[in-house]
A and B are shown apart, each in its own frame.
Chain A
Amino acid sequence: MTSTKVAEQPAAPSDGGSGRPSPLKRLLRPNPLILLALPIVLLYLPRFVDNTTLLQQIAVATIFVMFAASWDILSGYTGQVNFGHAAFIGTGAYTVALLSKYQPDVSNELALLAAVGAAALLGLLIGIPCLRLKGPYLALATLSVAGALVQLTFIFKTQTGGEDGIAGVKTVIDGSLTNTIGEGLSKLVLGPLTFSGLGGFDQYIYVSYFVTLVFMVVMVGGLMLLGYGKRGLVLRSIQQDELAAEAAGVPLTRYKLGAFVLSAACAGLAGGLYAQVRGTVALDLLAVDLSLLIIIIAAFGGAGSIIGPAIGAYVVVLLQNYYLDRATDLFVEHPELKIGTFALLLIIVLIVQPRGIVPPLLQRLSGRGSATRAAGATMVEGGGAKP
């Protein structure tokens, strides 16, 4: 592991000397069709699929895409593997729920902003002491912060409801912005008469579906632009060799802390939105299991590429919440086998294809080897260099 991995950097100045291609171009280069088609397919999916249970689970999966992508911008890029991402998600979700419970006058949009703020603040608070920590130390520190938050909800049981959580959170339908987006897109996709023939519950599902989709596209798109641009390169350089990056003039503290706060803020937004989609919050949003599932998703899809974890989230969450139950009764009777199955899959992927499944797949599809290295996950490969 002594060879440097600089060769894998996407910095190849092979564009005819015309300088660095714009982030947008670099982003779309791996496979423009796939990246642009995904949101459009998802947008028009409800027109062809009227199975509302499935649509609801896709909406949940879309939220998990945001969880995984926000994890990736910190952990996949800088190699600071966060084992307690649920702390940020839960902070966002509980902020929204507590506001809805105690300050019902606060609008949903403002509550989401508060969720972002609270999570970002937590990211800053955790990020500062964690700047010096790496690998196993960081893993344990982040894991224990999430554990401590779980204990906090028990200590403030009257406010947070302890194990029962908080029910009756104002949903996406109650928010003017989210409802407008949801209804607007529903009419666009399903036709003008959309909600006249539907019950209230169906309306809620369609609104959730489109709102999560819009948030996801904006967040993942933004993160990808960032990740595939110059800043992403800098973040990646921190992973590959921190000392070299610093020697090359990278302001380490600012970038590491920035990634921490950005990751936390995005997770807080997604968590807050999840609370508004479910209408309840509970301990599962802070639990170790959620943090682990996110790591499984990201490593499975291919950490350090944003799109990998995003697609990984759709695969894993839909399998977990929908398809496995319908495949065999075994999973209905023994839900614990699902996470075990994913764990086993992950182990195999880590050994056979450490870059995850999505980046190599995109590379193959686009048929352009070296150019798509930008999408290559380097977390697992690069994180291993021993001093």
Chain B
Amino acid sequence: MTSDDLLFLAKNVSKSFGGLVALDKVTVAVPEGALTLMIGPNGSGKTTFLQVACGVLKPDSGALLFAGRNVTGLPPYARFRLGIVTTFQIPRLFPSLSVLENVLLAAQKVRESPLSLLSSRKGERDLVERAFEVLKLLSLDRVWDKPARALSGGQMKLLELARALVSEPKLLLLDEPLAGVNPALAGEIMQFLSKVRREKGVAMLLVEHRLDIALKHADYVYVLHHGRVISEGSPEAVVEDPLVAKAYLGE
């Protein structure tokens, strides 16, 4: 791949928690519009990597480049504004806000200033239109006025996605969007993500255990084990790699 179509690059990223090395010089590249899959056994550092990528965690060393810009020192809100949007493995919704408000928060442009008090009602209406489009796509439009805490587990997962999609990301970091979701819905979510990628050209970095569903949609796969990239390549090549089988199954 050439550097022109590279959207996101994490270079030699390391992160330790006390004595535990969660990430050890991890280098991951996500090209424009590609779906990059990251797999690995539990505790291999996948979630840590996503949290470093979105800015919730700071790396100990290494650099993060997004669209040719160094974003290593940027806080999460600034990375979000550039188009790096993350979903959380365990949904972190705003439980007392309604479903619609959860989505609106991700869509709204005026965020900190009380001057938004004076922002036009028209602007809010446009946001509502956009929010409902996304809610409809994910079949959440019927529960739009419910507080997020009243949703089922599956609906919470969907709302995480809705919130991420409405913000019109350039790079979506997805942390196990299929975990805990029934197989039928999981398939649908994957189809849906694939469609979003095709139609809107959103690049995705997907962390997922459900290889049966996710693998066939991936362009490129990274395998993490003990905080290191032990294998990478096309989906076919990676599943054939004996190192990968060893990481999952042991000696």
Q: Do A and B come from one complex?
A: no
Q: Which residues of B contact A (CB under 8 A)?
A: none
